[in-house]
Structure 1
């Protein structure tokens, strides 16, 4: 299946072919889709082959959350030698917003005077967090997951799509997996999550969640956690029970995943308050629950906070406070309808 938008891919490929020592930055919300799109650009080189991935290609991506100065030195070393095959060498800096200040400043020197044989491709989900001097030296292109792929997912899975839809929209690797699978081969039971708080904490405490089915289950657990918080009449007591999730190793990534889910729930409530039949809803598996709420007066401010946080470059904030803010936003911004969610009332 052709994952990268064909029109965008062709235009970018022609642009890169016409220019030497060029830098482009793919900007979008889904990091995995940006990476897939960038690799498609590299492979559009008519003289490309698998061997050149070893000799004429370098992938730089975050290690332990950041891209450090040592990786920039790897880039400098790569640029010392001409390509072994074809006319170009390709550098892909994935999630370039995660460069440290030191590495970003060092990389700037490469952007200013790249070798004529170098094609530099960067990806970012946070364009505004890049140094202004970096932004001024690269051509930015907005690249989002094509809606036609989401439509194919809906058509393929029918009513069952609700269990995977939110996660597939949030994570391109999940979307690609389910588009590639046979519907009959999916173990739907493995995606179910516990209904009790302790069970949810246990699921969310798991580390090394890499398989698409497990990613879906984890995302559903975060959504269930948000629901439990909203339904609870003891917010602070409930939060104290789950707060260990957001302390220690892996806590920042968990808090970020929680904010992503909280943001989608706030968005859906706003949409459903205007049109309960809207096709723009993300959390399809929660829709019967979400229609019983209307937006609270702080919901737009809470949504904006989630959006700003997800666009930040570093993980410097306290994970426990971030998770508290996210759950408090959902708790206070979902106000139960007086008619109990009857949209015809």
Structure 2
């Protein structure tokens, strides 16, 4: 894994490259951002550059001992700490404390990556703080976190933070086309639904269940629009069957209504999130007015909020369905 494998995050990549090239790497970093944004990939790419024995080597050095052992997963100068269960305890950090006093065996540096460091207990964080107060000159510690504020202020003040930005839809779409080809079903929808998080996009692209749920949700949206109140209870069964994925269902519904609104307001078809479904969207667009679409989006959003605050599932869904069918 090298910097060239990372999509987006150009500013961070360039800054870390310069730090290695100029031998100005800090002792402790925090990579923060949502899950799946690429923090782990960046940590591994940064570690590779820090550990490489050949300062003039191209990014993908495959000749030096340090890089070869890193590829094999046996480089003792590269240590990764992951949560055990739902947290990272003090024993794992004490392991770093014991190991860090041993000088590197193959490189000029030792690199420690603590994955999901925001799951460290307070005791573990206090133990890490002692390490950060006087780290050996050869040690680099990288924390990846989704919740930066979960770290103690004393740790935050002793680390260099890089906050990862969401990738553009174009960047995500480009990666999906590269990985899966242009034939990937719903590629524009997946890129938009991922919210600019490449890890999420890759998972969705590989999930047949997600693609199927999207297809059935789109069909259900138009079934609601084209049926009467007597069909509500049958339609409700769809929501009940997908209760565990209700947030996804509601998200897809809002995206469909948004696409119809684009068509109703004479926007370009290539702006549709569900571009591959444009034919079925076009054929059903006359069932909606712009005012009804705005109201439907608000109804779905209100249902989402109600369920978030533990409202009764059946009553909330049935109320939404009845209102969605009103003219």
Does TM-score exceed 0.5, indicating one fold? yes
TM-score, normalised with respect to structure 2: 0.61
Instruction: Work out the CA distance in 1 between the residues paired with 2:150 and 2:311.
Output: 19
* Contact map agreement 1:61 1:67 (CA 8 A) in 2: yes
Superposed counterparts of 1:250-329, under 5 Å? 259=247, 261=248, 264-265=251-252, 268=255, 271-272=258-259, 275-276=262-263, 277=268, 288=280, 293-294=293-294, 295-297=296-298
Choose 1 or 2 for highest CA Rg: 2
Aligned counterpart for 1:55 among listed residues 73, 76, 87: 76
Partner SS state of residue 120, structure 1: strand
Change over 3 Å in CA distance of 1:299–1:217 after alignment to 2: same
Aligned to 1:34: 39
Contact conserved, 1:67 with 1:98, CA < 8 A, in 2?
Answer: yes
Matched with 1:162 is 186
Any idea what SS the aligned residue of 1:26 has?
strand
The verdict on how the C-alpha distance between 1:29 and 1:213 changes in structure 2, with shifts beyond 3 A counting, is: closer
Q: 1:213 to 1:303 in 2, by over 3 A?
A: closer
> What are the within-5 Å matches in structure 2 for residues 103-182 of structure 1?
103-143=124-164, 144-145=166-167, 147-154=170-177, 157-158=181-182, 160-162=184-186, 166=190, 170=194, 172=198
How far apart are 1:296 and its partner, in Å?
Answer: 3.6
- Is 2:85 aligned against 1:64? yes
Contact kept, 8 Å, 2:30 with 2:162, in 1: the verdict is yes
TM-score (norm 1): 0.59
Q: Which residue number in structure 2 is paired with residue 22 of structure 1?
A: 27
Aligned-pair Cα RMSD in Å: 4.9
For residues 259-285 of structure 1, give each alpha carbon's deviation from its aligned partner in whole angstroms, at most 9, with x where no partner exists.
4x3574376357547634476765556
Q: For residues 111 and 262 of structure 1, do their structure 2 counterparts lie closer, same or farther at Cα, with a shift above 3 Å needed?
A: farther
* Residue aligning to 1:43: 48
Change (3 A) 1:227 1:26: same
> C-alpha displacement at 1:125, in angstroms?
2.9
Q: Which residue of 2 aligns with 1:3?
A: 5
8 Å contact 1:269–1:334 — kept in the other structure?
no
Structure 1 residue 49: Cα displacement: 1.2
Report the CA distance shift for 1:324/1:97 in structure 2 as closer, same or farther (over 3 A): farther
- Please tell me whether residue 218 in structure 1 is matched to residue 205 in structure 2: no
Q: Distance in 2 between matches of 1:50 and 1:330?
A: 60
Q: Does 1:89 align with 2:80?
A: no
Per-residue CA distance 1:267-326 (angstroms, 9 max, x = gap): 6357547634476765556675697644443666777899xx9xxxxxxxx9xx59959x
**Alpha-carbon contact 2:31-2:144 (below 8 Å) kept:** yes
Evaluate the alpha carbon distance shift between residue 123 and residue 334 of structure 1 in structure 2; reply closer, same or farther with a 3 A threshold. Answer: farther
Q: Return the offset for 1:55.
A: 0.9
Paired positions, count: 279
Separation of aligned partners in 1, 2:132 and 2:24:
14
